[in-house]
């Protein structure tokens, strides 16, 4: 294998983890789960490694149809293994990704980042940038995912905040100032989460957002 082919494979291997994070639902799942972890009991329940693994798992679950299209488009070119074939594979694989990003990115974000990308370029190059270019779609998609994640996280945080406020008020009225409200509220938070079947509702609701 030539040096150029090795460099192409190295670039591909470096790009794959970034693609898994930026062009899938990983960002939304990771942020929502981090907010739920904070609402439940700080940074310990569940562990950050668990929520990161769950976010990756469900990002792959949601992106499975797109991943199958990417593999079907890129596999023939990847089998040859040379740099030119890898470039062709990347171009073919980009089309299903572009379709997914365009479908799940609001027009407001696409237009905003299109205008920004054009402003960053010389006047002669601005017309060549389109709304469906990955350089526009990827940041627009990530921004939209972060916005949606914070909105969902806010709604999920409120019930747990109410429980903690009630516990803090009761402890204060009983003059039990040495007992932390988080310690008392945690069992009630867990009970509420279990009774509401919280994990199922969160994962199902987030996944249905990509249908």
Task: Output the pLDDT for position 154.
Answer: 94
User: Does the residue 206 lie in any domain?
Assistant: no
- pLDDT: which is higher, 88 or 142: 142
Which pair of structure tokens corresponds to residue 203?
């994962």
Distances, alpha carbon 190 to alpha carbons 65, 166, 171, 186, in Å: 34, 15, 19, 6
User: Does the residue 117 lie in any domain?
Assistant: yes
pLDDT in tens, 128-144: 888 888 889 999 999 99
User: Does the residue 94 lie in any domain?
Assistant: yes
Q: According to DSSP H, which parts of the chain are helical?
A: 3-22, 26-41, 48-62, 64-80, 83-103, 107-119, 134-173, 181-195, 198-208
* Residues 198, 195: Cα–Cα separation, whole Å: 8
**Range(s) of the domain holding residue 47:** 3-148
Q: What secondary structure letter does DSSP report for 89?
A: H
Task: Output the pLDDT for position 172.
Answer: 86
User: Does the residue 142 lie in any domain?
Assistant: yes
Task: Output the pLDDT for position 84.
Answer: 67
pLDDT in tens, 160-173: 999 989 998 998 88
* Residues 198, 191: Cα–Cα separation, whole Å: 10
Domain tally, the chain: 1
User: Does the residue 172 lie in any domain?
Assistant: no
* Residues 29, 35: Cα–Cα separation, whole Å: 10
Q: Which residues face 202 on adjacent strands?
A: none
What is the SS3 assignment for 126?
Answer: helix
User: Does the residue 78 lie in any domain?
Assistant: yes
User: Does the residue 178 lie in any domain?
Assistant: no
User: Does the residue 188 lie in any domain?
Assistant: no
């Amino acid at each position: 294998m030539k040096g150029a082919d090795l460099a192409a494979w190295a670039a591909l291997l470096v790009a794959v983890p970034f693609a898994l994070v930026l062009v899938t639902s990983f960002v939304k799942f990771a942020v929502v789960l981090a907010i739920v972890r904070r609402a439940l009991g700080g940074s310990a329940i569940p562990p950050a490694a668990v929520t990161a693994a769950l976010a990756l798992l469900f990002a792959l679950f949601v992106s499975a149809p797109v991943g199958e299209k990417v593999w079907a488009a890129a596999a023939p070119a990847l089998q040859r293994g040379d740099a030119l074939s890898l470039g062709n594979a990347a171009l073919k694989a980009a089309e299903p990704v572009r379709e997914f990003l365009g479908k799940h990115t609001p027009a407001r974000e696409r237009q905003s980042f299109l205008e920004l990308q054009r402003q960053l370029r010389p006047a002669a190059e601005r017309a060549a940038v389109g709304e469906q270019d990955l350089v526009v779609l990827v940041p627009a998609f990530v921004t939209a995912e972060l916005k949606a994640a914070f909105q969902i996280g806010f709604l999920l945080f409120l019930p747990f905040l109410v429980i903690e406020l009630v516990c803090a008020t009761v402890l204060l009225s009983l003059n039990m100032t040495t007992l932390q409200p988080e310690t008392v509220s945690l069992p009630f938070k867990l009970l509420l989460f279990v009774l509401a079947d919280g994990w199922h509702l969160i994962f199902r609701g987030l996944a249905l957002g990509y249908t």
